[in-house]
Structure formats: structure tokens, C-alpha cells
Amino acid sequence: MTFQQRLILLVTGLVLLAVVAVTTTMAFTTRAVLTERIEAEARLTAGMLARGAAQAGDLPREVDALLSERLLSEATLTAHLVALAETAKLPPKAINDRLKQIAESGGPDEMWITDNRGRAYLHNLPGPDPVFGQDAKGGPRHGAYSGLLNRSPASLVSEPAMESGRLMKFAGVTGVDRPRIVQVGADMRRLADLLRKSGAEGVIDGLIATRAVEAAWLLDRDGRVLARGAVLANGSGGPLSDADTAAVKAAATTGDVTTRVSGDGLLALAPIRYAAANAAAAGLPAVAAVRVPYSEPGAMLGRQLKIGGLVGVFVLALGVYLCLRFARDQMAPVERLSEAVKAVEAGRFNPLSLNEAADRDDEFGRLSRVFRRMAMEATAREETLDAQLVMRGAELETKSEKLAAAEQLIEEEQRAARDVQANLLPRQLPVGRDSQFFGTLVPGHAVSGDFYDVVELDERHSLLVTAGVSGGGVPAAFLMLMVRAAIREAARPGVGPAAILTHANERLCGESPFNGFATAFVAIYDRAAGTLLHAAAGHRGACRVTAEGGVEFLSAAGGPALGIRRGAPYGEATTVLNQDETLFLCTDGVLQSVDGQREPFGEERLAAALAHGRGMSARDRAELVLRSVQAHAAEGAVAGDLVCLAMRRLLPVTEAVEAV
């Protein structure tokens, strides 16, 4: 596929992808917003229906309570009025006329006042005087409370009674001046009509009239329909499904407003919360349900996707056309540059072939001019490089010969240094039944000047030395000679390790032609007593290994390295070696050998290797340490020479005492 085709495919693909992404995002976002709005409106409508139903259930009780309080107050006022009228010696007819005027002026519809025997001799309605409490048929026409003659005035007795098409409510109190019953009543027919119009069915009819709700129900806790609104032509107000009934029961139990998709609509369920505690047990609706249309989000999504598809096709066609025009115009200089690159590779570049492309004023024109200049410079530089290459080849051959001669000289110096180092090591170590000696040197890639030495001072005392010299090659070998000679020169019976190190330090500071230094550990061993008098000059790796495998480092006593500071003091320490205990000495090459993670072997690993060798000979113990170091170190990571000197005491303690 050519670059032109890739450019066309990339641009048109990106444009089409952008159109599809924007259209899809907007379509699904619009659907989500519309769905959220429909669900919110459904929840709000269901909540409004639930609140309306709750008010329709609570309103009659509240109205009944208010009316009862009013009737009780009117009965009390009537009792006081009658008491005042009789105190004023008014005849019963005058009092009845006054009661009739009160009823016609907006007072109670009926008023009944009895004497102490229960006969209602005062009333506003014409007719005979009924008797309360004796004959139910002889009582007043609306005497629903004839059995409550002896109730206190605070007792309110009220129940509606229906007679001759009138819905009446009564309240009665006792007389204020004598034992009697004062009862008043009110007609509740108009109030009942008003409550019926403002009830749940009226709320449902109002919702259906808006045409925004397909159907509405009021249901009890078991999902039975108590009230249902008008059903639209699509049948949405039919019976609820089993799943809808289960959702109704769940909403009545949890008390939360919920929504669910039911058929082609969205069903919203809202629990009805009444003010009275026993309202739910009175057979009133428990859940309000409304169903709203839910097909609009899907239809909106489909319309937007269709519009997006048409726009995408149009944009794709327009993008392909414009990309073809643009690519055809812009790719001409690129093709010229491609041909020029091939010509440069073949060595037949003609600068005139880029004149047309170089005359352009855009980026391709600047690129063509730059390439033509670079191609011409590259051609000239290539010719120059060919000539220089021949010259450099001859120089390289001469330098290679000199380098080979230098490497041979260095190798000869290293061989001479190794010979010096090997010849300075003791050829034979002391032997006997009281002690066991073993020393070994594993040379590094470059001679570093490490060595060990054992000198028998007399029949009882031996001098043990391990030393390491800084640097490598011939200078290290020379320093090693000086250190060994200085130590052997000072080694005399009765001369301690500190004095030996002091003498060697003075010699090295005053006579060494090099700036190097040396570390050393010197110990004088008493084979009879097992005592070890030792001192260290900046040297580590001296250990006392007990018969049980315990390891004690002995490098604390001493002073700085040799050849650093003239007149440096050195201290001494004494250690006793018991039977089967071993003195192990090594140089820094053992401790500083690193593994692949640049982790040195160190004193901890040295102590662990020595602790594993219980009951071993001096030779086996030294070889065990060397194997541990070589296993730890990565290839070529051994830090110079590896020197180990081990001395194991074999003389029993009893024999040592006898020898003393």
C-alpha cells in the first residue's frame, strides 16, 4: 500500500470514526437524559398520586375531628343558653323559637334538650317531645345517642346517621344547671360530596386527563386494585402482571419509590404514608402506581443513529474526494524525492532532477532544496572518506602491532610478578603433633601482591603473617618484597607483633618509592600454652574458630595500614586456642569478592563457611572457604589474590600444661 493510499485511508477513517463516535455518544447521551427525565417524572407523578391518596384517606378523619369539636362547643353553648333562658323564666315555646332562629342563622341543624327524666321538651324542630334512653322508637328522629345520658360533658359521642336522605352527625353534653342531655346535630351531606370529589379517584382522573399518564392505580399491600384510572386505547390500564404485583408488594414493604419497565411503559410505584397509625389496617390503599409511555427514548436513539449514519456516509464520500485531490497534489514532490534517494544510493544522482520540486514554496520545496544540498555534500564527503579510509587503515595496522607488543610486555611483567610472589611464599610449613598448618594462594587475573608467611622463632614460638598490598603488577610485587623483608627483619624471639608492625611501617614510609600501602596481620603462637599474641595493621579476616563451630574475629587490636602514617602506634591482644580450635587468616580478596548483584562475600558469609566445618583439618577448612568464595563470586568478580592461612591446635590441654 502506497503512502498516498495510507494517507487517504487514515484521514477518511479518522473523519468517519469521529462522526460515528460523536453521533453515538450524543445519541446514547440523549437517550440516557430522556430516560432519566421520564423516570424522574414517573417518580414525581407516583409520589403526587400517593400524597393525594394519603390526603384523601386522612382528610375525612381530620374533618370528622374538627366537626366533632365544633358540635361539642355548640352543644356546650346551647346548654348555657338554655340554662340562662330558664333562669330568666322564659316559657318553653319562647326557648324553642329562639333555638329555631339560631338554627336558621347558621347554628346547628338540630338541637335537643331534655329534662331530668330524659324527655326532650326543648328542640328546634316541630313535632312531639321524644324521650331519651327509654324507648328507642320514641326518641328523636336522629337520636343515635339515647344510651349516653349519663356521660360527662367531656365525653364526645359522634357517629353519622342516615335518615330520609340526610347524613347527620350528633354530639351531646350534660346540662350545666340540672341533670339533662343537650344534643346538637349537623347535616354532613354536602361535606361528604366534597370529600368524595377530592378523594383518590378524583386525583386519578386529573392525572389521566393530562394525557402524560397511560394509567394509574391505587392498590393494597397484596397488589389488589382498589381504584383505577381511565384506560387509554392501547390497553395500558389492564390488569397488572405477576412481576408488577410482586414489585407492588416490595414497594409496600420497603417504603421506597421504585420504577420498572412494564411492557411498553414505565411503571412507577410509590408507597402511601398516612398520618394516622392505623390507616393501613383500615383497608385504605397502600401503594400508588402510574404507568407512563416509555417508547420515546428508543425511538429517539434510532432517529439519531439514522441521521448519524447518513451524515457519516456524506462525510466519508466528501473526505475521500478531498483526500484524493490533496494527495495527488502533495505526493508529486515526494515521488521526486524518492527517485532522488534511489539515485543517490546507486551513485548516479543528478541535482537537476529536483528543480521542479525545489521551486515550490511549501515544506516539500524546502525539503527538496535541503536534500539536494545534502546529496551533493554527501557525494563529495564520500569521495573524501574513501581516501581517508585508506589512510586510517594503514594507521590502524601500525597501532595494532604496537598494542600487541605492549600486551606482550605487560604479560611478561605479570609473569615476573607472579614468579616473585610464588617464590616468597614458604615452601614448607611447620609440622608436628601439637599443631596443624595449611596455607594457599589463588592468584588473581592481575598480581595484587598478597602473601602469607610462617616463621619458627624458636622451638616453642611461631610467627604467622598474612598481608595484602595495594595496586598490582610489578609495583605491588616490590611492595610485597619490602613488607615481607621488614617483618622478617624485626621477627626475633621476645619481639611482639606490635613492635614488628611498627618496624615495618617505618621502613615502608621511609624507603618505598611508590605511594602504595599494605595491610597485615601478625600473630606469635605459643605451641605449648596455646596462646596467640596478635596485632593487625588495617587487616581484616582473622578468625578464631572453636571446636563447636563458633567464630570470633580478631582484627580489633592493632593500628592503621602500613605505609600511611609514620610513627603510628599499634596495639596487641592475646587469645588462647584450645584443643581442636583453629586460627584462620585471609586477605581482602576473600572478603571483597562480589556476586552478580555486587554484594561482597563479607565477614558474615566467612563466619558461616567456617562454622560449617566442625572437626575439619586446617587444609579442608581453608579449601572450604575458597570454594564458598568462588561459588559466591560471579565470573571474573574475584577481588585479586585469594590468600588463606589456617592453623589448628592438636595438643590436648593436659599435655600443654605439662609442657609448660
Question: Does 214 score more than 70 pLDDT?
Answer: yes
pLDDT digits (tens, 9 = 90+) for 168-197: 788 888 888 888 888 888 877 767 666 666
pLDDT digits (tens, 9 = 90+) for 245-266: 787 777 777 778 888 887 777 8
Question: Does 152 score more than 50 pLDDT?
Answer: no
Average pLDDT estimate for 395-416: 74
Q: Taking a C-beta distance cutoff of 8 angstroms, is the pair 155, 148 a contact?
A: yes
Reduced to 3 states, what is the DSSP secondary structure of residue 27?
helix
Average pLDDT estimate for 612-623: 84
End-to-end distance of the chain based on CA atoms, in angstroms?
101
Phi and psi, residue 500, nearest 5°:
-65, -45
- Count of residues making up the chain: 660
pLDDT digits (tens, 9 = 90+) for 60-91: 677 777 888 888 888 889 889 988 988 888 89
Q: Taking a C-beta distance cutoff of 8 angstroms, is the pair 280, 286 a contact?
A: yes
Q: Is 139 exposed, middle or buried (0-12, 13-18, 19+ CB in 10 A)?
A: buried
Q: Taking a C-beta distance cutoff of 8 angstroms, is the pair 356, 336 a contact?
A: yes
Class of domain 425-659 as given by CATH: alpha beta
Average pLDDT estimate for 596-601: 86
Higher local confidence (pLDDT), 311 or 92: 92
Confidence band for 137, pLDDT divided at 50, 70 and 90: very low
Q: Taking a C-beta distance cutoff of 8 angstroms, is the pair 312, 23 a contact?
A: yes
Sign of torsion over alpha carbons 100, 106, 108, 113: negative
Of 236-250, 274-288, 297-311, 391-405, the least confident = 274-288
pLDDT digits (tens, 9 = 90+) for 467-490: 988 877 777 778 888 888 899 999
Q: What residue spans define the domains of the chain?
A: 3-193, 199-294, 354-399, 425-659
* Rounded-to-10 torsion of CA 554, 556, 558, 560: 120
Q: Is 225 exposed, middle or buried (0-12, 13-18, 19+ CB in 10 A)?
A: middle
In the CATH scheme, what architecture does the domain 3-193 have?
A: 2-Layer Sandwich (3.30)
Question: Does 409 score more than 80 pLDDT?
Answer: no
Question: Does 523 score more than 90 pLDDT?
Answer: yes
Ramachandran category for residue 9: left, alpha or beta (phi over 0 → left; psi -120 to 50 → alpha): alpha
- What are the CA-CA distances from residue 64 to residues 10, 75, 236, 489, 601 (Å)? 80, 16, 37, 131, 100
Reduced to 3 states, what is the DSSP secondary structure of residue 658?
helix
Which helix (DSSP H) or strand (DSSP E) does residue 537 occupy? strand 531-537
- How far out from the chain centre does Cα 404 lie? 62
Q: Which residues contact 495 (CB under 8 A, 6 or more apart)?
A: none
Right CATH number for 199-294 from 3.50.50.60, 3.30.450.40, 3.30.479.30, 3.30.1180.20?
3.30.450.40
Q: Which residues contact 441 (CB under 8 A, 6 or more apart)?
A: 421, 422, 425, 450, 451, 452, 641, 642, 643
Q: Is 12 exposed, middle or buried (0-12, 13-18, 19+ CB in 10 A)?
A: buried
Q: What pLDDT score does 275 carry?
A: 67
Q: Taking a C-beta distance cutoff of 8 angstroms, is the pair 535, 558 a contact?
A: yes
CA-to-CA distance for 633 and 623, rounded, in angstroms? Answer: 15
Average pLDDT estimate for 103-120: 86
Long-range contacts of 178-181 (CB under 8 A, 24+ apart): 178/115, 178/116, 179/116, 180/79, 180/113, 180/114, 180/115, 180/116, 181/112, 181/113, 181/114, 181/118, 181/120, 181/132, 181/148, 181/149
- What are the CA-CA distances from residue 491 to residues 29, 121, 463, 498 (Å)? 98, 154, 8, 11
Question: Does 304 score more than 50 pLDDT?
Answer: yes
Tell me if domain 3-193 and domain 425-659 are identical in fold.
Answer: no
Which helix (DSSP H) or strand (DSSP E) does residue 170 occupy? strand 166-174
> Which residues, in sequence order, are bridge partners of residue 546?
none
Which helix (DSSP H) or strand (DSSP E) does residue 181 occupy? strand 181-187
pLDDT digits (tens, 9 = 90+) for 529-570: 899 999 999 898 899 999 888 999 987 788 999 988 888 999
Average pLDDT estimate for 134-142: 41
Q: What pLDDT score does 522 carry?
A: 95
Cell numbers placing 618: 586446617
CA-to-CA distance for 125 and 104, rounded, in angstroms? Answer: 11
Q: What pLDDT score does 144 carry?
A: 31
Which helix (DSSP H) or strand (DSSP E) does residue 258 occupy? strand 258-262
- What are the CA-CA distances from residue 201 to residues 53, 188, 205, 230 (Å)? 9, 20, 6, 10
Q: Considering the chain, what percentage of its residues have pLDDT values greater than 90?
A: 12
Confidence band for 207, pLDDT divided at 50, 70 and 90: confident
Task: Give which of 239, 226, 206, 207 is closest to 280, Cα–Cα.
Answer: 226
pTM of whole model > 0.75?
no
Q: What pLDDT score does 501 carry?
A: 93
- Label the pairing between strands 558-559 and 531-537: parallel
Q: Taking a C-beta distance cutoff of 8 angstroms, is the pair 229, 204 a contact?
A: yes
CA-to-CA distance for 326 and 3, rounded, in angstroms? Answer: 13
The most confident of the ranges 92-101, 266-275, 347-356 is 92-101
Which helix (DSSP H) or strand (DSSP E) does residue 69 occupy? helix 3-87
